[in-house]
Amino acid sequence: MAGPTIGVLIQATDARDFIGQVRRAEEAGSPVAWSTIGGAGGADVLTTMAAALAATSTIRLGTAIVPTWPRHAVTMAQQALALEQLAPGRFRLGIGPSHEPAMVNGYGVRWHSPLTQLREYLTVIRSLFTTGAVDFHGLHVTARAQWRGPAALDLLASALRPKSFEACGELADGAISWMCPRSYLIAEALPALARGARRAGRATPPLIAHVPVAVSTDRAAVRAIARQQLGRYTEIPFYRAMFVQAGFADLAGGYPDALLDDLVVSGTEDEVVERLLGYLRGGCGEVAAAPLLDPTDRDGSFVRALRAVARAHTAA
């Protein structure tokens, strides 16, 4: 795992657009580009990343995240191994259970004990990465496989509530947050990550903080764009419970201004750089900055965000 890093999260319209944006991120000096499962416009993210790795030379790519329910753990590990062999040291596998509506409605999974499922996936994939073999039978996952040897790959996982951060502290090389206000990461997530690591007798892995970013001094406009682009997470039970735990209980009308101001980094370029660095000073190991794109100036807002991310990483 590299040192303190501030990278960018890509949201593209299709696979070609994804590759183009990754190239631009590399040219701007961003050390890492992240993608969600939908970050390439619905195209398979691991396949798209293979093409993006081939089209670039230095930037690292990470998934944030690939859902665990639709793919077997061994299959996912094999896909990650292929990317590692094609671009050694440049791919980072981030996995997670996603959330119930998407998995049940989209894939028809039988959603139960998602934290157990995540722990089993991490156990299986970590065994393959570290030893080249696995023999595991769990509630959700049965896996028996053997490779020619171990693979030096980062294995990351999504985390939302304290128990999942603890699981990442025990079993992962890092925890990836999503839509978590900064105050919640500092007060709840980081201590939980450390508790899990202590329980496992290992060093605390880094927290990769997902942070929506806009280089704009028009706070009202930034809030309006955020409400349009961040999704309806206040209506998803697990996220709603996290927001309440973070101190934002009044969610009847969606995102209150105070929540968005804690979640979204905006301002002048200098102010954005300073606030991104504040996540590292607060204890986060990395930042995955997610540009909020102004619908009236999508390209300009993306370029401004890239420039701020690159400056913040250089200063980290």
pLDDT in tens, 156-182: 999 999 999 999 999 999 999 999 999
- Is the per-residue pLDDT at 215 higher than 70? yes
pTM of the model: 0.96
Q: Give every CB contact of residue 226 below 8 A, 6+ residues apart in sequence.
A: 212, 214, 255, 260, 263, 264, 292
For all residues of the chain together, what is the average pLDDT?
96
pLDDT computed for residue 38 by the predictor: 86
Domain range for 64: 5-315
Q: Give every CB contact of residue 296 below 8 A, 6+ residues apart in sequence.
A: none
What is the percent of the chain where pLDDT is above 70? 99
- Is the per-residue pLDDT at 224 higher than 80? yes
Find the CATH number of the domain harbouring 38.
3.20.20.30
- Is the per-residue pLDDT at 2 higher than 80? no
Give the residue from 290, 288, 284, 283 showing the smallest Cα distance to 305.
290
**Neighbour-count burial of 144, counting CB atoms closer than 10 A to its CB (0-12 exposed, 13-18 middle, 19+ buried):** exposed
pLDDT computed for residue 39 by the predictor: 84
pLDDT computed for residue 1 by the predictor: 54
- Mean pLDDT value across residues 228-244: 94
Are 58 and 30 spatial neighbours (Cβ–Cβ below 8 Å)?
no
Sign of CA dihedral 174, 122, 56, 291: negative
* pLDDT (tens digit per residue) in 15-57: 999 999 999 999 999 999 999 988 888 999 999 999 999 999 9
**Which tokens in the block code for residue 258?**
């105070």
- Is the per-residue pLDDT at 13 higher than 80? yes
Report the number of distinct structural domains present in the chain.
1
